[in-house]
Every structure is written in C-alpha cells, then in structure tokens.
Amino acid sequence: MSPPDESGEVFEVGLLVCADDMGLCAQRDSGILSAFSQGIVSSASLLVTGSTAQDAARRAKEEGLMLGLHLNLTEGPPVRDENDVHTLVEEVGRSWWPGDGCGERRKEFKGKQGLRDSVERREVSLDQVSLEVQAQLQAFLDITGYIPLHVDGHQHCHVIAGIAAVVARVCRRFGVRCIRVPCEGYESFKHVEPPSRADFCWQVSGLARDARLMFREEG
C-alpha cells in the first residue's frame, strides 16, 4: 500500500511489467504473448516500424493484451519517407532489421549512439523528429484502433535532450496520457558490465529526470 496522500487516501500500488519490442519479429511476439498468458507481463510496447507490427497487434487484441507505442528513432527504417527525415537516417551497407530489406543497403536510423552524437552536434532537425513521432503515433492508431496505453522509447530515445520536448508536445496533441520514464538510481545498474554500459544507463537516468519535468508540464 502507498502512504496516505494529502487527502488522507491510501492507494494500492501494483507491479507493472512491460515488454518492449513487440512487432520486431514473430519470435519476439510469441515470447511476449507467452509471458502475458502466464501472468509475467502486464503490457507491451509495439514497434510500428517492426516487420510484424500488424500481426502482433492482431494477436495482442485476441489475447487481451493492451499496447503502448515503443517509439523508435535509433534502429531500422523510419515510417516517414527517408527524404522527409534525412537528418535522422544514414546509409547502412547491410541492414540487419528483420523483414523486407534485411541484408540490403538502405537508409536507416543512426543507432542509439549515432542519434545521440548527431543531436549533440545539432545535426538533427527537431521538426523532422516531430514528423516521425507523429507518423509513428498515427501508424499505431491505424494498426490498433486506439490511443497508446503509454509511450516509451526504443533504447530510451524519447528522453534525449531536445527530443523529449518534441515527444511531450506531440503526445499531448494525440491524447497520450502516460510516457514511461527510465529513472533509476545508480545502485540499480552499477553491476552492469562493461562499465561503459553502466555509464550509459546512468546518463539515460539523468536525462530521464529532466524529461519527466517536461512530460509533466505537457500533462
């Protein structure tokens, strides 16, 4: 139970376990649905850029699994035409992203560090970020027929400085009421190896604390 709030009310606090990357491939989808059927997973986040997104949404609906949007700005191809979001993509020699185009040369997102480096160098157009976020939210609506239960970010792209403000504004416009924020203390991942990965987690947590304020301001 939670401590009483200012009104004196006490609320029951539950554990929510959300599985990311649904829609990436059939194997991932089956694993998530199996975990849901066993009571291990409470909800899932759908990658609308994934190769099995539509089928994953259908299967989730049949099983009663509600979905959020797993916003993706770091891996695979965008929803928008690559020319509309050219500051977010680069040419890859051999795509690993499952589905059509796997193994081919094409334009894809720059990766989790590539995106962060490009934002830091001010090479990313936030207007183009807005276009892609809108496109993914609209794709989610088209696929599922409802507003996402929540929004979170593939590789935590949604809390990157600059991008977070765009995500907050677009989500408010679409009526999204919940954005998942990865705020954790260093104790949660100081054991992570290699140390560079632990440092990345710590940086993400710091960005998330700042992003949470923006998300709250946008409602």
Distances (CA, A) of 217 to 23, 72, 168: 31, 23, 9
Beta strands in 32-171 (DSSP E): 43-46, 67-71, 89-92, 106-109, 151-153
Q: How far apart are CA 70 and CA 208, in angstroms?
A: 16
100 is catalytic: no
Q: Whose CA is closest to 68, among 48, 52, 44? A: 44
Phi first, then psi: what are they for 12, rounded to 5°? -80, 130
| Options 5, 20, 29, 127, the catalytic residue | 20
* Active site amino acids: 20
